[in-house]
């Protein structure tokens, strides 16, 4: 039985249900925009043969809601997408069908019923791996001091314009260590609606204040990986 035939043979639900898809976006896919990601999933969802609920009206389309869009150049293990399903299909089958259409750089970790709202996300946990000259204990100490001493300023852009802000207002907690010739910075940053910090701004400010990544650009690099989305207590993981 073909996917479409199988899909339409499934029993209808009394009401469409919302399934939450947690997925990773890593490697070269860090360079695609959020709009490109939306277009990709629009095609993947259809190819996967899922019993999707479509909006009504003259231009029906798949109902998709992404949580906490990721800036270009950052990677993530905790991206979220809510879709609506109108026929009976298990979360495990949804996951398997999606992964059959995806790659290891864009892969679904789990699918489960959506219970919390995206507006409940208050923080995000990031891991920075900074390959820079002189990544030793002395540099580690300078970065710790910069993340502990106000102000640590940068220009923050928003819909209302640009303004200089103290980034430490957006840093909930952090750790810094030197290992294998790199600095590892783990930071929990504000990620709520109206109180969001682009994780790349932290690198920009630390470069200016501590001199990291000021050497040969062909030799130095950094990686930003979003590990978890957190609730208002800064500890509990969003699901």
pTM: 0.92
Q: Is the pLDDT of residue 3 over 70?
A: no
**Is the distance from CB of 220 to CB of 119 less than 8 angstroms?**
no
pLDDT at 4: 59
Lowest-confidence range among 40-54, 57-71, 201-215? 57-71
Mean pLDDT of all residues belonging to the chain = 93
Name the H helices within 54-198.
91-99, 137-146
pLDDT of residue 189: 98
Residues 6+ apart with CB under 8 A from 64: 38, 41, 42, 45, 81, 82, 83
3-115, CATH topology level? Alpha-Beta Plaits (3.30.70)
% the chain with pLDDT above 90: 83
On the 0-12 / 13-18 / 19+ scale of CB atoms within 10 A, 155 is exposed
- pLDDT average, residue stretch 197-221: 94
Choice among 5-19, 129-143, 146-160 with the minimum mean pLDDT: 5-19
Model pLDDT for residues 93-136, shown as the tens digit of each residue: 999 999 999 999 999 999 999 999 999 999 999 999 999 999 99
- Output the pLDDT for position 58: 80
pLDDT > 70: percent of the chain: 97
Intervals of CATH 3.30.70.580 along the chain: 3-115
For 121-230, give the CATH class: alpha beta
Kindly give the residue spans of alpha helices, DSSP state H, lying in the chain: 3-9, 34-47, 91-99, 137-146, 199-210
> pLDDT category, 1, cuts 50, 70, 90?
very low
Pairing of strands 171-179, 64-67: unpaired
* pLDDT over 60 at 2, yes or no: no
Could you tell me if 224 and 122 are in contact, meaning their C-beta atoms sit under 8 angstroms apart?
no
pLDDT of residue 61: 86
Task: Indicate whether 154 pLDDT > 60.
Answer: yes
Q: What is the pLDDT of residue 89?
A: 95
Q: Work out whether the CA dihedral 145, 177, 23, 100 comes out positive or negative.
A: positive
Mean pLDDT, to the nearest integer, of 76-86?
97
**Among 34-43, 151-160, 229-238, which stretch is predicted with the lowest mean pLDDT?**
151-160
pLDDT 10s digits, 176-198: 999 988 999 999 999 998 899 99
């Amino acid at each position: 039985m073909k996917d479409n035939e199988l899909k339409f043979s499934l029993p209808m639900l009394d009401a469409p249900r919302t399934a939450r898809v947690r997925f990773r976006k890593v490697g070269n896919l860090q360079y695609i925009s959020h709009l490109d990601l939306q277009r990709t999933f629009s095609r993947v969802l259809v190819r996967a043969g899922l019993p999707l609920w479509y909006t009504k009206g003259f231009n029906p389309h798949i109902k998709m809601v992404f949580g906490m869009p990721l800036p270009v150049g950052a990677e993530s293990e905790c991206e979220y997408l809510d879709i609506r399903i109108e026929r009976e299909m298990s979360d495990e089958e949804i996951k398997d069908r999606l992964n059959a259409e995806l790659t290891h750089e864009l892969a679904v970790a789990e699918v489960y019923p959506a219970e919390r709202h995206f507006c409940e996300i208050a923080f995000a946990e990031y891991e920075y791996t900074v390959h820079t000259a002189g990544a030793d204990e002395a540099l580690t100490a300078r970065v710790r001091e910069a993340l502990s001493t106000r102000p640590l300023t940068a220009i923050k852009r928003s819909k209302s314009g640009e303004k200089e802000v103290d980034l430490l207002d957006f840093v909930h907690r952090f750790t810094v260590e030197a290992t294998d010739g790199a600095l590892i910075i783990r930071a929990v940053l504000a990620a709520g609606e109206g109180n969001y910090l682009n994780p790349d701004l932290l690198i920009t400010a630390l470069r200016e204040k501590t001199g990291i990544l000021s050497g040969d650009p062909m030799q130095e690099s950094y990686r930003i990986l979003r590990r978890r989305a957190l609730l208002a207590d800064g500890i509990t993981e969003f699901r």
